[in-house]
Amino acid sequence: MIGVTELALAYAPALTPQLEKKDPSRVQPGSATAASRATQSAPDAEMAELCVQGNRLGFERLYQAHGARMKSIAWNMLRNRQDAEDAVQDTFLKVHRSIHTYNGQSSFSTWVYRILVNTCTDTQRSRQRKTEELPENLTGKSTNVPLRIALERALSRLSEKHRTVFLLAEVEGLTHAEIASVLDIPPGTSKGWLFEARRELQRLLSEAGGALRRVK
């Protein structure tokens, strides 16, 4: 049987297109201090300081450093180009409006990813989206279309928490510590949800055994 991780590695590059362009209220308020940011990487700490000061350069650096991953996370969570673009743009607006609530208890980038994930989750709950056509690069010679379609359908049947942890861990490559910070859960919970997500995906993919056998 093909492993779930192997499927995720195949799934990520083909279904993550290049896009053109915890809600802040859930983030504990506070002020960032130099001491609390000492454990961050130098670029993260500098970006945070510039953004707290209202310096536009800080937001430009944030976009340059994390924009691509933010687009990828948004696309993988929402499966819709316009919704993903809107979520990334909304996230930057929320970061700008709520930068005074950043307290430095997590890295600045983790705080931003938390806002993004919360924004995507809100979008999933509030919008009734049309299923978007698969990207054109799925038709390439090296693409295993039946396998990716099977995984796409299986992922859509996972619970919100399992799908989010699976995408962050297996597709985006975040560690359990990073996922824990982004979702505000213990690392052990992240590990447990990922295990359950893998197990459920294996079950769902086994149900589509006919298609999987044809692509072996």
CATH of the domain spanning 18-126, picked from 3.30.450.20, 1.10.1740.10, 3.40.50.300, 3.60.150.10: 1.10.1740.10
Walk along the chain (216 residues) and give the pLDDT tens digit of each residue: 445 544 444 444 433 443 433 334 343 333 333 333 344 567 888 899 999 998 999 999 999 999 999 999 999 998 889 899 999 999 999 999 999 999 888 889 999 999 999 999 999 887 654 444 444 444 444 455 677 777 888 888 899 999 999 999 998 999 999 999 999 999 999 999 999 999 999 998 888 664 445 444
| CA-to-CA dists, residue 33 to 111, 181, 182, 185, angstroms | 15, 19, 20, 24
Residues 136/141/142/147 CA torsion (nearest 10 deg): 70
Domain residue ranges in the chain: 4-13+135-215, 18-126
User: pTM for this structure?
Assistant: 0.67
Task: Decide: 74 and 87 in contact? Cβ < 8 Å.
Answer: yes
For residue 147 the two structure tokens come to 């396998």
Look at residue 111 in the predicted model and tell me its pLDDT: 94
Look at residue 26 in the predicted model and tell me its pLDDT: 44
CATH of the domain spanning 4-13+135-215, picked from 3.40.1370.10, 1.10.760.10, 1.10.10.10, 3.40.50.720: 1.10.10.10
Question: Is residue 187 packed enough to be buried (19+ CB in 10 Å), middle (13-18) or exposed (0-12)?
Answer: middle
